[in-house]
Structure 1
């Protein structure tokens, strides 16, 4: 019996059991590795602009603190529930361990559509959520970051709320802050930049000419738009992009800077280049060299996996591919190269780690140094994943997750079970 449920949590649990079988982990050790250490549910009442009071439900799940404080984003979305948050925290644990960060995984969220809130209401909800979380978070306990529906401004409100409670400025309580409030250069671009870097790395390994190659990007938020821009600047033709308002397609390549500028003004793609509209359901299966799912979980199911016409799938989102789709991709063998999510989108948490370190030291780096260190960590993790996949003749996701699970398991076993 567990409080966690839903398709996203079931997917994370199913993936873990595959890895546990591969690693021959005894069954009596598995729950300790999989189940979160702590889950917090809070009520967040705020005054609406019309004078009424509304109550929103918030969550925070801390998967493990074995390697250090937990780390993870905070999602504001109507679909948020505790099962989804727990799954995202579990994936974050394997991600941090894979790339060698001294963190366990965490995730948080509020069940709300942020577009339904005024700026004043969004600030009130952000501050109330952090206020409710103060007993459970801290720079060496749990460090928050942005996720879907939150941004630098929300992180600044989080930091200010925590700091007012402490009586001093505590910049290291969150990452993804504005640079003017203790953030690091390169954090906003870090996840999408890392996705593009790994795509270019794989294209070189597969002897795909970068200039003139084609890419499709699902999701045009922070991750997808930056990944698309980085690929565009590398000479890749980004032929299709989408967000929750629609999709755009042009065989000769889209003007990505113009689309980003439009979204900066209007908030979405709805009115951008409407003559290039495409059915969003067709986007992932367009013929191209690279598909970047950078939106929601579980968008590539078994049917979509069988219909993919790309050479590389670069998972910019968390959990975009279902276990059933993984079986299809595995059966397709060398036909499609997968860059699994816990590696592909790990650039964000890597640079969040840099921000935390800089805040603790009060010594800040130039952006060139941030980018160099990010790419160095991503390349090292990619090389180790590929070595493991070739050695054991396993799927890339299996190799990557096994490395993360092994590190967490090793640390838990060395520390022992208290008392």
Structure 2
């Protein structure tokens, strides 16, 4: 076997370099993304997710001693797809929308990632999210790579029939580039189980009935039991693992949750069932606080009936901007990215932060919180429950055998606990924090798979 190949493979181990080194270098792809968003007048805070991804990847690559050419190779997407989707609207006019699918890496298995419908979707954003999916699936140790897709549209402005037509046209344009063992889409922002059902049906017209081509489907079409709660339940399991490291459990801990969508509401419900006390919570309509603990079941009913938590009488209304600095044991940002920044990090009183959202903490805030002794469980570990159960759904579809919900939840706990344990091992090997432990774990697994499959400089 080639000597250079053997040396490179040997270097990709859990005990690579023990020294943590900070780097702020940015790849041409990431620079392009940042520059373009600046030219469009979008605030710099919107670039934080990509800037942080670059920073974290570069740190992980340096810790692992990656060959510079391999490092560059891991950043370059496998394939970028851009298609025009023209549909007749309900009023008879024609409308065109641009759709994207970025397939970042398939070294560890079929590429995996959501499809979002949002008016700010562009190829650069999709590129960044596809890369993050590559590291997330590797941290979870499921046999997937990373991908992401989207259509630049405002789904709230489209009727159900228009959304269906748009989804079917998009699928027609990309059907030969996705597949059960190639690229498996899932729901994301602005899409749901119904969207996946339309993709499944349209794809099956070309390839025969293929339920495993998408995950997050309705259960009646091969979706998995437990998928709806998966990300929130994964947050619970990850939190349990982190607290157990410090001799604590969920019971008796005070939680603050920012965001009451699918992830936040399930996390709140499951934490309460486990004995935790959710003392403050917010969504886009407002925030509520109750030092004695919020009745989550009552809040969920109110939110469903009123399309938000504003006006809930089970606590005191508070300024949503002050929620992150409420005194608590565990803070769970479960909404937007970049909400914890250098302006508010010093005021955070939580002992632990569980990143249920994608990139809720800016790099500047990371340093401030580390100096305060706050432990952060990073997003690519904490919110990986959703993609893990998507993997279980894919497995069930391929096997043609449906699991009961108890098995889904039991397996999810096993995977989340193991991911936390593996991340801690990387932290010990490299003397780094949890975020860098997770990134190093993910990047190392992808790099090893890439080299094992025959990559050479």
TM-score range, shorter chain: over 0.9
Question: Which of the residues 406, 411, 426 maps onto 1:368?
Answer: 406
Aligned to 1:415: 453
Q: For the residues of structure 2 that align with 1:130 and 1:10, how far apart are their CA atoms?
A: 31
Aligned to 1:263: 303
**Cα displacement string for residues 226-269 of structure 1 (whole angstroms, at most 9, x for unaligned residues):** 11111111121212222223222222222211222233344433
Q: Is there any run of 5+ residues in structure 1 with no aligned partner, and where? A: none
SS state of the match for residue 145, structure 1?
A: strand
Q: Which moved more, 1:32-41 or 1:393-402?
A: 32-41
Q: Which moved more, 1:104-113 or 1:245-254?
A: 245-254
Q: How does 1:140-179 map to 2 (within 5 A)?
A: 140-166=181-207, 168-179=208-219
Aligned to 2:127: 86
Q: For the residues of structure 1 that align with 2:425 and 2:321, how far apart are their CA atoms?
A: 35
Aligned to 2:437: 399
Aligned to 1:319: 359
Q: How does 1:289-304 map to 2 (within 5 A)?
A: 289-304=329-344
Q: For the residues of structure 1 that align with 2:118 and 2:285, how far apart are their CA atoms?
A: 16
Conserved 8 A contact 2:294-2:314: no
Q: Which moved more, 1:240-249 or 1:352-361?
A: 240-249
Aligned to 1:386: 424
- Evaluate the alpha carbon distance shift between residue 289 and residue 274 of structure 1 in structure 2; reply closer, same or farther with a 3 A threshold: closer
Q: How does 1:102-113 map to 2 (within 5 A)?
A: 102-113=143-154
> What is the CA-CA distance between 1:275 and the residue it aligns to?
7.1
SS state of the match for residue 338, structure 1?
A: strand
Conserved 8 A contact 2:117-2:154: yes
**Cα displacement string for residues 307-350 of structure 1 (whole angstroms, at most 9, x for unaligned residues):** 21101111111222222222223333xx2121111111111111
> What is the CA-CA distance between 1:204 and the residue it aligns to?
2.9
**Cα displacement string for residues 136-158 of structure 1 (whole angstroms, at most 9, x for unaligned residues):** 21111100111122111111111
Query: Over aligned residues, Cα RMSD in angstroms?
Result: 2.0
**Cα displacement string for residues 163-219 of structure 1 (whole angstroms, at most 9, x for unaligned residues):** 1222x2110010011111101111111111010121123223323453332111112
- Evaluate the alpha carbon distance shift between residue 120 and residue 383 of structure 1 in structure 2; reply closer, same or farther with a 3 A threshold: same
> What is the CA-CA distance between 1:46 and the residue it aligns to?
2.5
Conserved 8 A contact 2:286-2:309: yes
Question: Which of the residues 272, 283, 299 maps onto 1:232?
Answer: 272
Q: Establish whether residue 329 from structure 1 lines up as the match of residue 357 from structure 2.
A: no
> What is the CA-CA distance between 1:33 and the residue it aligns to?
0.9
> What is the CA-CA distance between 1:274 and the residue it aligns to?
9.4
Aligned to 1:72: 113
Aligned to 1:121: 162
Aligned to 1:24: 65
Q: Which moved more, 1:385-394 or 1:56-65?
A: 385-394
**Cα displacement string for residues 369-406 of structure 1 (whole angstroms, at most 9, x for unaligned residues):** 11111101111111121122134321101111101101
Q: For the residues of structure 1 that align with 2:421 and 2:102, how far apart are their CA atoms?
A: 31
Q: For the residues of structure 1 that align with 2:234 and 2:396, how far apart are their CA atoms?
A: 20
Q: For the residues of structure 1 that align with 2:154 and 2:276, how far apart are their CA atoms?
A: 34
Q: Is there any run of 5+ residues in structure 2 with no aligned partner, and where? A: 1-27, 35-46
Q: For the residues of structure 2 that align with 1:32 and 1:258, how far apart are their CA atoms?
A: 51
Q: For the residues of structure 1 that align with 2:102 and 2:387, how far apart are their CA atoms?
A: 17
Question: Which of the residues 88, 92, 99 maps onto 1:47?
Answer: 88
TM-score normalised to the size of structure 1?
0.94
- Evaluate the alpha carbon distance shift between residue 367 and residue 275 of structure 1 in structure 2; reply closer, same or farther with a 3 A threshold: closer
**Cα displacement string for residues 85-104 of structure 1 (whole angstroms, at most 9, x for unaligned residues):** 21111111111111211110
> What is the CA-CA distance between 1:290 and the residue it aligns to?
1.0
**Cα displacement string for residues 98-120 of structure 1 (whole angstroms, at most 9, x for unaligned residues):** 12111101111122232222222
Q: Which moved more, 1:315-324 or 1:338-347?
A: 315-324
SS state of the match for residue 332, structure 2?
A: strand
Q: Which moved more, 1:355-364 or 1:57-66?
A: 57-66
TM-score normalised to the size of structure 2?
0.86
SS state of the match for residue 135, structure 1?
A: coil
Q: For the residues of structure 1 that align with 2:407 and 2:171, how far apart are their CA atoms?
A: 31
> What is the CA-CA distance between 1:418 and the residue it aligns to?
8.2
**Cα displacement string for residues 275-303 of structure 1 (whole angstroms, at most 9, x for unaligned residues):** 73322211111111111111122222222
Conserved 8 A contact 1:15-1:323: no
Conserved 8 A contact 1:216-1:238: yes
Conserved 8 A contact 2:257-2:282: yes
